[in-house]
Structures are given as structure tokens and as C-alpha cells.
Structure 1
Amino acid sequence: MAIDFTMSTEQKKIQATARDFAENVLAPVIPGADQDPDPLQAHARTKPAYVEAYKRGIAMAMLPAAYGGGGMSCLDFTIAAEEICAVDPGFACTVLCNGLGLMPVSWYGSEEQKKRFIGAATSDPTHEYLGGWTAGEPPGGTGGTANFDSPLAAAGIGLTAVLDGDHYILNGTKKWSSAGGWDARGVNAQTVIVRTNSKVGGTQGLSALIVERGTPGITYTFLDKEAHRTASNALIQFTNARVPVDNLLPGAEGNGDLVINRNFAWSGPVAAIAAVGVARAAYEAALKFAKKNTSGSLTPIIQFQNVGYVLGDVAAKIESARYFAWRASDYLDKHDQHAELVGAMCKINVTETMFDCVYKCMQIVGVNSLSKEYTFNKYLRDAALLPIYDGGNMGMQRRRVHGVLAHESFNPRAAMDDESVYFSKEMESIGTVADLYKSTTALPEATQEAVAA
């Protein structure tokens, strides 16, 4: 990326292609899908648009070209994603989850797995192929992707994978997975974070398996949610589900926690640009309203200083947020798609700033922003979700940033100087029970026992 932030001719073409798809293919589908009371049907109603996105090279754009994907850089993908997110970030999430589900194969899989799984994703004659990402678990107990904080055995991720000959037997529950598929029978292939070693807890003993559609012993229940109505999110029950050992990603064995962190860092700039897209749509709608409505005065309200100042501030924040997303994406491209620090900082800063921008736009429009006529209700719902999903800002993203900053090896000028920042397991547990547990090993035995209790 040029330092002057000028898009190349090819990037402008990517932007124009994505904008044409978003405005002319996707936009007509979204109002009805967003309002559909059935979450499965809301997702399924976007299938024709998805098929078109697949045909145009959008759906698999982020996957490596060597295996049939678009080979698009993170920066170029982010430029395209903004256009789609300005119309519907839920649909964009469906596309993004092809990356969340299959990029771990490109990072941690064998050559055979890359050809088998990514190759199938990029050569589907029906153009319906979906990848999925399955990491989170229901609240309560010890489950959840963010729960790396207990050193006790079997704490943290609760879905177990027990070796039985040439298969793993999976038992447990996942929640918020993007793997429900078009028919609640599963996506074609999903990356699933499992506990392959139940003798250890926290960040230890986790691995990543590819689970294919049609695997017996798995049921999917679509979740009814307030935002991203068109995206697939499911509760998944695994009951003695048999997955071939050949589906274990070898580079992720014992490192499933690092897969989670890398995946959410990779998707951080995309979540950020999704927030930019939503805020952009809200800003353009508010500006249009302000130029046409007088609210009982003699002139359109855009002529009043308060309205102009607020919208000017919103416009400036959107611009700065876009550039942060571009910068984080560019960093990913330059550092082997590792951005555990920069990606997290980008996601946190942008998604929270853009939520405020959407609300500021609603204040300009006033009580009329509550009317579905102006779609601000959708902007607000989608903007509110972005800071709390995709490795929630409070659940995982800030912990990752904190862990990196607190480490003795951290160079505070690393991002500015475009240096690689390496992320390790010990950084994950900063400020948690596991971190406290480690720090007490030098304490008197009685004190250690008290802490453990």
C-alpha cells in the first residue's frame, strides 16, 4: 500500500465490483431477510446472492490462489468488505467465515489437507459451498473461547476429542458457530476447536479439527439473535461424532488456542471495516435527512451549527477508522498474516468508535430514527454487535493486547516501525487465574494452597 493511501487501479476495480454486487444484487434481498422471524430462513434467503458472490469470485476471495482461491491480499479484501458491510454486515460475515473456517487449513494444515479442503471450497459446481468456524461454547461451567484462565484439568474449552483408532470421538456443545449451513445440517467444512488432552486445562491441550458436512452425531440449532440476522449462528451438539484422524490440522495440535487468537486477529480489520461500513451507511442516511428536513424551522437542519459539527465529527472518525483498518490489513499482509496485537487494537478502537458514530447520527435524525422507514434500527443493532463478537473486545481482544504489552520482549514502537510482534501462550493468560497461579509458584507452600483453593 502506498503511504499516500491512494488505491491502485486494480483496487479501485475491486471496490467497484464489490459495490456493484452490494447495491444491485445484495441490497434488494436484505430488508425481507432481516425482518424474517425465522433465523434459518433469514440466512437461507441470502443464498441466491451468495451464489452470485461465489460466481464473481467474492465468496472465496481470501483463500490462497495456489488452491483455487482468489489470493486476495488482506488489504484488498478489506476494501471490498466495506462495500458489502455498508449494505449488510451479516451477509459479509457469511463470506468472512469462509476465511475463518478455511484459513486455519492454509496456516496449519498439511499439503494434502489444503488440496482436499480448500480445493473443494474453491471448485464447487453448485457455487453454494460454505466454510464454518466453531470455537465458542455456551456460558456457564468452564466453556467459552475466552476462558483460558484456569490451570485445572478440563477447564476452558469443553468439547472433547478422544482418540479411538483412526478416528476422534467428539462430545460436547458449541455455541455461536457459523457452521449451521443453508439447511441446519452443517456447512461443507468447519474448523472446530477441541480438547484433545483432557488432563490439562486452560490454554493447554487444545487442537483444531476439520469436521465435514454429514458427520453423524451432530445436530444444529439456529440461534435467534437481534443483529446480523442474515448470518448463520448455531448451537451445535456433538454426541459421539466420529471425525477421521486425518482431519486433525497437524500444525494446530496442542495449539488450538493460538489458532483462535490468530484467526480473530486476522479477522480484526474485517470486523473493523464492517463497523466503518455500517457507520458510513448511517452517516449518509443522516446527512440526506438533514439536507431535506427542517424539523419546523425555516431551513433544513444541516444549516444549524450543531448538526453540521456533529456530522463533520462523524465523517472524520469514519475516515480515520477506515485508514486504521487499511493499516492493520496491510500489516497482516507484510507479516505472514500475523497481527495478534495490531489486529486486536484495530478491532477494539474502530468498532467502539463507530458505534458512537451511529448513535450520533440517530441523534441528528431524532425520534424518526426509531422508525423502520429509515433503517437506523438495523444500523444500531449491527453496530452494537461488532464490539462484542469475533473475539469480544472485553472477552479476548483486550486481553491479547494486554498480554503483548506486558511482556518483557515488547517494543512499544514495533507497530510504528512495522516490526513483527510475536504472540505466545504465556501472553494469553495475562491477568487471569492461570497468570496468578503461575506467579504464586515462588510463594510459601501455605500461600500457594490458599490461592489454589
Structure 2
Amino acid sequence: MAIDFTLTPEQRELQASTRAFARDILAPVVRAADAEADPLRAFQMTKEAYVQAYRAGIAFCMLPTQYGGGGVSNVDLILAAEEVCAVDPGFACTILVNGLGLMPVWYWGSDEQKDRFLRAATSDPTGEYIVGYAVSEPAGSPGGTANFDAPDASPVGIGVTATLDGDHYVLNGRKYWPCNVAGWDGQGANASIVVVRTDPSKGGTEGLSAIMIERGTPGVSFNLISKMGHRLTPNAEIVFTDARVPANNLVEGTRGNGDLLINRNFAWSGPVAGIAAVGVARTAYESALEWARTYTAGGPSPIINHQNVGYVLGDVAARIEMCRCFCWKTAHFLDQHDYHGELIGAMCKIQCTELMFDAVYKCMQVVGVNSLDKQHEFEKLLREAAVLPLYDAGNFGMQRRRVHGVLASPDYNPRALMDDEFVPFTKFMETIDTVPTYQETPLPV
């Protein structure tokens, strides 16, 4: 039959092996690393688990086998990601960002760049190779990056500039929030992809490109950010001060199209963020169900026998199944359409992360005030669930705007996703909401 949710034997093996890794290798370090106040030290406490993930083929499973990667499908990636995210979505984010940093090189890089960057990532004998992805910029006026693709020239949108000087680009400016970029020691990842403004006279729909920054590049410094959630993945500020980067590090296919790179990347990561929310909610649900089966609240029998508890947990279970299926469908769509899914990827990320945040809180309501006790895991699960709607192209900052841009197109077919038809995403769709289309009029006196 055409629609079949039964996993193949290979997929079951992948799911089981990833679950064993998450349970036996990752879980033992999560509590202590999450409690560590120093964000760099917290990240370093996951290094042994990361190396084992690398050697198990997890860290670069998303890259094609041609360059030494795992060559897994997007559906398989989602199956594996749920198991890691159920233990810690921050660690899973570190793995995800390896893909965000290198997949654009696979899509748009030259053969030389693919050989140089992808093979280096998959052939590291230490198993420590890590890749960063740098788009977001600091808040301020102007500042931030939600309107990165606004068609106006600088200072709107992306502010980091890359000026060609001979056979090098000179980078100046700051990024804020990029993941993995500082590496294991706070001095830089092995490589990072950075979206920069290569033409300051043009806006985000024309003036942006992506360039690879290698560890040790002079003029690049990092400051780690301490976060309330996702503490096992490293976010940092990057400061570029006349940093000179070889011109042949510019990913040629992104020249003037850095905006489309961002949208395609976040289409790919949409179901990964969605399944992260599912994994977190799954853990909260299973914990709340176990609590309800044994806790009496002073009554004659466990609270699972009370109607309200049973109804709430039943609704949570249903939402988890709904969102898991949406993530599978989105991943399948990406597999069918050359890793393009700008519309469905955004929809999946929005709906799953927001529904699952509510699901986690519903589980806490079932457990009651005891869910606030740190000896249980709910406080961490709530912190992790709170991250998911806000990061990875925030639901209000970028994701809903992407959906709006597609829906506003006169060529949009509202049944395209139902019929598994390709949905194009164009620069015209990007500019929705970025330029005021109304004029303010004074109120009547």
C-alpha cells in the first residue's frame, strides 16, 4: 500500500541502536552537564558522548555516503533524532547544526569545496570534528535577524559585511546565537558557514552570500552565551574584526542567494525541531503516566483512576502521535522534493513545538506541585520545551512569515501538500511583511 507507517527492519534497528546510545551513553552525563553554570564547561562534558556518536555514524549521518557521511534519508533522520531528543534535545541540536553548516556546501559548493569540507568532517580520526552555522545577529536598533531578507540595503537585515580585497574577503561585524561556532575550547569550530552581506548596496534578497570560516582565522573571537535551556549545546557571539578569509571559501552557488540558503536550511530543520518537541513531550508524558499510576494524593487509589487525569493524559498522548506523524510526513516530503519543503517545514516546526510545549505543561499539572521539585525531571523538560518555539528561526520571527509568504502567492495551490506536490519558494515570497505596505494616517480630532 502507498501509505504505510510500519518501520522497515533497518529502521527498527536504527531506532533501537540510537535509543541505546541515548540511554547508555548520553543520559549518564545529562544531569550534571545541565546543572553546570559555565556554558563552555557544560558543553565539554558531552564531548565523550559526541565522540562516540561520531564513531557510531550519528554526528554526520545526514551527509551523503559519497563524502563519507551516513546517507540517511530525512525520514530515518527523524526516527533517530526522536530517541536522542527524548534524553536531551540540546545534544541533538549540536548534531543538527553539523548538517546546517555543511549541507549548503553539498547543495551549492564546488567539487573542491565538497571534497575539502565534507570529507574533512567525516574522516576525523579523533571523532571531535564539529561544524557551526552562523546567521543570527545581536538585538538592537537596527539589529536582530528575523527580517534578514528585507530588500533594503544596509543597515537593515544582516549586518556582517564581507568586502572583497584581492583574493580574500574581509569580514566585520557580529553574530549572536550561532551554535557550535566556538568549538570545544571556545576558540572556534573546525569550520563554520557564515551568512554575510557581500554587497552592502543591496538588500537581503540580493546582497547575501555564505562563506566558510575555518578554525584559526585571525580576527575572529567568541563569547559563550549562558541559556535557560539547551545547555548541552553551545551558542555564542562571534566578533569579526578585519577577519581575512580566502575568497575561494565563498560557497559559489550562494552568491547573492544567502537568503534562499537560510530558508532551505530551516525547511530541513523544521521536522527535526518538531521531533525534538515530540521527544521532550514523550518523556514528560511517560513520567507523568508513571506518577499517576502510583501516586494517590492522599486518596484511596492512584490518581490515574480519576477522570480528569485520564482525560488530560489521553489528550497528551494523542497530540504526541499527531505531531510525530506530521514530522514523518514533512521528512518524507523533503525526501521527495530534493530537500525543499519551505512551507511544510515551517508549518511542522510551528505546530509541533507549540503543541508539545502545552503537552509538557499539561503533564506537570497532572503531577502537580511535585513537578517543581528538581529531583524529578519536569523543570528541565519545561525549559527545553520553551526553547523549541523560539529557536531555529523563531515561530513568530521567521517561520510564520515563511508560511504567509507562500500562501500570499497567487500561484499557491492550497491542496499541494495533500497531493504531495512540490511547492516552490521564491524571493518574492520572502519579502512578505518585511516592507510596510500601509501608510499611517492621523486619528481624527
Q: TM-score range by the shorter chain?
A: over 0.9
Q: How does 1:4-15 map to 2 (within 5 A)?
A: 4-15=4-15
Specify the code of the residue in structure 2 equivalent to 1:301: I
The counterpart of 1:286, out of the listed 273, 288, 294, is: 288
Deviation at 1:145, TM superposition (A): 2.7
Which residue type is aligned with residue 89 of structure 2?
A: P
The residue that corresponds to 1:177 in the other structure is 178
Please report how far the alpha carbon of residue 395 of structure 1 lies from its aligned counterpart in structure 2 after TM superposition. 0.5
Alignment of 1:99-248 (within 5 A): 99-147=99-147, 148-149=149-150, 151-178=152-179, 179-248=181-250
What does the per-residue CA deviation read over 1:381-402, in whole Å, with 9 as the maximum and x for residues that have no partner?
0001100100000000000000
Task: Give the C-alpha shift of residue 431 in structure 1.
Answer: 2.2
* Contact 2:51–2:127 (CA under 8 A) maintained in structure 1: yes
Return the letter of the residue paired with 2:162: A
Report deviation, 1:374. 1.0
Counterpart CA distance in 2 for 1:406 and 1:368 is 47
Amino acid at match of 1:339: G
Instruction: Give, in whole Å, the separation in 1 of the partners of 2:174 and 2:132.
Output: 15
- Classify the secondary structure of the residue corresponding to 2:25: helix
> 2 CA distance for matches of 1:241 and 1:312?
55
Distance 2:276 2:98 in 1: 16
> Paired residue for 2:310?
308
In 1, the alpha carbon distance for the partners of 2:160 and 2:215 equals 18
Maintained 8 Å contact 1:154/1:201: no
Secondary structure of 1:27 counterpart: helix
Displacement of 1:153 after TM fit?
3.7
Normalising by structure 1, we get a TM-score of 0.95
* Superposition deviation, residue 149 in structure 1: 3.3
Superposition deviation, residue 203 in structure 1: 2.6
Residue pairs, 1:409-428, within 5 angstroms: 409-428=411-430
The one-letter amino acid of 1:37's match is: A
1:329 and 1:127 map into 2 onto residues whose CA distance is 27
Say if 2:101 and 2:131, in contact at 8 Å, map to a contact too.
Answer: yes
Work out the CA distance in 1 between the residues paired with 2:142 and 2:254.
Answer: 22
Report how far residue 150 of structure 1 moved. 5.6
TM-score relative to the length of structure 2: 0.97
Summarize the alignment of residues 261-340 of structure 1 with structure 2, pairs less than 5 Å apart: 261-340=263-342
1:2 Cα shift? Answer: 5.6
1:157 partner letter: I
1:373 CA drift (Å): 1.0
Q: Does 1:93 align with 2:90?
A: no
RMSD: 1.4
Task: Provide the C-alpha distance between the structure 1 equivalents of 2:2 and 2:34, rounded to a whole number of angstroms.
Answer: 38
Q: Distance in 2 between matches of 1:370 and 1:261?
A: 38
Distance, in Å, in 2 between the alignment partners of 1:232 and 1:339 is 27
Aligned match for 2:375, one of 370, 373, 376: 373
Give the counterpart letter for 1:50 in structure 2.
Y
Unaligned runs of 5+ in 1: 441-446, 449-453
Taking the aligned partners of 1:208 and 1:146, their CA distance within structure 2 comes to: 17
Q: Whole-Å Cα distance in 1 between the matches of residues 223 and 121 of structure 2?
A: 24
SS for the counterpart of 1:419 is coil
State the distance in 2 between where 1:203 and 1:302 align: 55
% identity of equivalent residues: 61
Shift of 1:144: 2.8
Task: Tell me the distance in 2 between the aligned counterparts of 1:303 and 1:156.
Answer: 55
Q: Is the 8 A contact 1:154 1:199 kept in 2?
A: no
CA shift for structure 1 position 108: 1.1
Opposite residue 383 of structure 1, the aligned amino acid is: A
Q: In the alignment, is the contact (CA less than 8 A) between 1:142 and 1:158 conserved in 2?
A: no
CA offset digits 1:39-73 (Å, max 9, x no partner): 00000100000000001000010011110000011
* Structure 2 runs not aligned, ≥5 long: 441-445
3-state SS of 1:24 partner: helix
